[in-house]
Copies of this chain bind each other. A is one copy, B any other.
Amino acid sequence: MAEHTVKAFDEDITRLRGLIAEMGGLAELSIQESLEAMIKGDEDLADGVVVRDKKIDALESEVDKLAVRIIALRAPMADDLREVIAALKIAGVVERIGDYSKNIAKRVGKIEARKHFEPLTLLPAMGDIAAEMVHDVLTAYAARDPVLALEVIATDDKVDAFYNSIFRNVVSYMMENPATISSAAQILFVARNLERIGDHATNVAEMVHFAATGNYPPDDR
């Protein structure tokens, strides 16, 4: 490519990475706020998460459009092309992470007698780890850092362990407090959504590792 084209390509890629960083920042905030809304019963905060999801979707569309324009106008090859394709796929996964937070937010009104409902106290620590995974994997993407990507993949085990522990706790609680079963079921759905966020952050981490090293991480997990 001629020098001015290389510069234009670099600017496009920087913008593409910026859009994905913005998506990731919003997705991370939505995880935290959907959990906060769930714990406090704050339906306004929950509505804000639902509204923000439209912004995340719109950013995915922008990533798609820009990626297509880069391919059509700049005809990138090899590593550059792989980077554009990776951006398209990562944006799809981050959009999906946003969906899980929206799904949590939409359950906020479904919990009854919130003040005395112990299982709620199990969620924040799991939510923090899931949000941290999303934060770290986007940092790894921005810095093309395969080592941090591997750390994100390792953290997924903690999210899984939390899920298993919450599942056992909530099932016991249901048996002891049958009147709360429908609220308790909501907690399981929330924990499941957090577990899926961890899984999707792991997917992104694998793509980041591949983009940075040309290899997928060893899958002995």
Contacts and interface: CB of A to CB of B under 8 A. Distances in A.
A217 to B, nearest CB: 11
A88 interface: yes
Contacts of A219: 99, 102-103, 106
Q: Is the interface of A mostly helix, strand, loop or mixed?
A: helix
Chain A interface size, as a band, is 20 to 34
Contact of A71 (B72, B102, B103): B72
Copies in the complex: 2
A49 to B, nearest CB: 13
Interface in A70-90: 71-72, 75, 81, 85, 88-89
Nearest to A106: B219
Interface in A174-221: 192, 196, 199, 203, 219-221
A171 interface: yes
Contacts of A143: none
Nearest to A68: B71
Given A68-B71, A72-B75, A106-B220, 12 more contacts: A64-B85, A68-B81, A71-B72, A72-B72, A88-B89, A89-B89, A92-B92, A96-B203, A103-B219, A106-B219, A167-B167, A168-B171
